[in-house]
Structure 1
Amino acid sequence: MIGLFLGDTDFSVAVHKKIRKLNKEYFIIDFSKNNKFKKDNNSHRISIGKFGKIISLIKEKKSKNVLFAGKIAIPKFSTLRLDLKGVYYMPGIIRAAKLGDAAIIKAVINIFDNENIKVISSIFFNPELTLKSGNYTKLKPNINDNNSIKKGITYFNKLNSLDHIQAVIVKGSTILATEDRQGTKKMLSKLNKKSKGILIKLPKKKQDLRIDLPTIGLQTLKDCKKYGLKGIVLKSKKNIFLDKTRCISFANKNKIFIKII
């Protein structure tokens, strides 16, 4: 029995679909904003403040492993009703919330570690959502592009472990934009329509690779076209690539390269 903590984004839907296809026994704790898995009979809607109830359900289901997929909707903490474990753990959750939804998931994982509940990688059942090293499009980066990519990677390597940057736009020797907690789409909106930049998305330093892997999908490619980007660079086996067949086709049609390093 696998416990699925599912939030928003298409990634959570992909995980749910794969688990069902594999005929795995599962239950869901739906942390999405609008209860998107309510039609599944195995789904449970439990407030993040009810940690006692959550942990009791995991033990009742005799679940040895749980995984997280998708973006957790940050709750309005002042309205939460807490059980005893919720009262005990909530201060840490509130502190984490100030750093974003990924930090909330990390705080929850720490709680599960404390309760001897194992959290496995979000792509454990979906390894097909990652890519190995290589170029995946007809268009490949040229010498100048590769120099830009090296510049972007050097920038990432200089970041400290407390930085939350997971993506940059680089052109030549210039970092045109960096991603903050508002996400890639917001970062791209800062560019002009013919930026000729390259999007590089890499895991943050000391990132828990069980969760919050850099993710792209078809909308990312459409945004790259809108702002005139030349290509996308991701880290081998440390990314989530949704709907990759359509993405690669779109990239080929619009002369955008996709490189996995």
Structure 2
Amino acid sequence: MERLAIIAGSGALPVELAEDHTKAVLVSLSGMSHDLPQTREHHFEKLGGLFADLKAQGVHEVVFAGGMSRPDLDPAEFDSFMIETAPRLMAAFQQGDDHLLRLVMRLFEEQGLTIRGAHELLPEAKAPKGLITGPTPSDQNLADAARGAQILATLAPLDLGQGCVVASGLCLGIETLQGTDALLDFVARTPVHLHRTAGVFIKAPKVGQDLRVDMPAIGPETVKHVAEAGLAGIALAAERVLILDRVRTLGLAASLGVFIYGLEEI
């Protein structure tokens, strides 16, 4: 395998990748949080310097991992590469996150770097098909999961989020820029009489999304918030969503009576 660089954002995924690929170059972007003890920090405004550093380290493959916020760019700090790239970048900033991520990937590929997906490097983290842990979902649970999948597929062209909550066929909320935790907190504060039954949190990539970056993932915090929202379980797009900190996540779900289920068609 060619030498790998992990472009680290927040959350457990970069940590798991770093533990599994101990010779990887660990990189972070200034102003973006991460949980790695030490990285080679670069400013997004000086992307040309990042590429030069990766080449100097013998890096040929790159994986983007973890949550990454849009950088606050200062054009006065742009290096020559960014000055040349600015028109393309500014156009992407006016569109959704998916467009911006696709451009960033193209920039790396244009430098001769191969983009690897986290799911390629941690295949055991992918959600399998069927019941993964917890109680068996009811027919209503599965119907709500199918309804959620339909909602996410319909919203995909708008480049919004990767999750929603459905109870008794009714959508209680969709994931937007604020993320999964904010969605589940909103659902937790929804009046009980609007739930009818315990609902389901559905997580899936957007239709046509490049899974090499921004692949959906859940972890222990997701399970905790699902339980606090009074939901019955979590439905995931099988093979297309990652389960992070797997042992703890599955154990917590089982102890809280929350099912995790991999949907084959979503």
- Displacement after TM superposition at 1:138 (Å): 3.7
Q: Which residue is 1:164 aligned to?
A: 160
Q: Which residue is 2:181 aligned to?
A: 185
| C-alpha distance in 2 between matches for 1:238 and 1:169 | 18
- Displacement after TM superposition at 1:35 (Å): 6.5
Q: Which residue is 2:27 aligned to?
A: 29
2:254 to 247, 252, 255: 252
| C-alpha distance in 2 between matches for 1:90 and 1:175 | 39
Q: If the length of structure 2 is used for normalisation, what is the TM-score?
A: 0.86
5+ unaligned residues in a row in structure 2: which ranges? none
Q: Which residue is 2:120 aligned to?
A: 124
Higher helix share: 2
Number of residue-to-residue matches in the alignment: 255
Q: Which residue is 2:200 aligned to?
A: 198
- Please tell me the residue identity of whatever aligns with 1:51: L
How big is each residue's C-alpha offset from its partner over 1:111-141, in whole Å with a ceiling of 9 and x where there is no partner? 1222232111123321222121020224011
How big is each residue's C-alpha offset from its partner over 1:79-112, in whole Å with a ceiling of 9 and x where there is no partner? 7611110111234334434556665433211112
Closer/same/farther in 2, CA of residues 160 and 132 from structure 1, 3 Å limit:
closer
- Please tell me the residue identity of whatever aligns with 2:26: I
1:222 to 211, 224, 227: 224
- Please tell me the residue identity of whatever aligns with 1:123: H
2:209 is the counterpart of 1:211: no
Aligned identity (percent) is 24
Q: Which residue is 2:42 aligned to?
A: 46
Q: If the length of structure 1 is used for normalisation, what is the TM-score?
A: 0.88
SS in 2 for 1:170: strand
| C-alpha distance in 1 between matches for 2:216 and 2:34 | 22
- Displacement after TM superposition at 1:253 (Å): 1.9
Conserved in 2, the CA contact under 8 Å of 1:30 and 1:45?
yes
Greater displacement, 220-229 / 46-55:
46-55
SS in 2 for 1:207: coil
- Displacement after TM superposition at 1:28 (Å): 2.1
Closer/same/farther in 2, CA of residues 100 and 29 from structure 1, 3 Å limit:
farther
SS in 1 for 2:77: coil
Closer/same/farther in 2, CA of residues 162 and 100 from structure 1, 3 Å limit:
closer
SS in 2 for 1:189: helix
| C-alpha distance in 1 between matches for 2:238 and 2:36 | 34
- Displacement after TM superposition at 1:38 (Å): 7.5
Conserved in 2, the CA contact under 8 Å of 1:8 and 1:32?
no
Q: Which residue is 1:55 aligned to?
A: 51
| C-alpha distance in 1 between matches for 2:164 and 2:36 | 36
SS in 1 for 2:133: coil
Q: Which residue is 1:148 aligned to?
A: 144
Aligned-residue RMSD, C-alpha? 2.2
How big is each residue's C-alpha offset from its partner over 1:193-241, in whole Å with a ceiling of 9 and x where there is no partner? 5542100000001111101111111111111111101010111121121
| C-alpha distance in 1 between matches for 2:157 and 2:32 | 33
Conserved in 1, the CA contact under 8 Å of 2:30 and 2:41?
no
Closer/same/farther in 2, CA of residues 258 and 33 from structure 1, 3 Å limit:
same
Q: Which residue is 2:70 aligned to?
A: 74
- Displacement after TM superposition at 1:168 (Å): 0.8
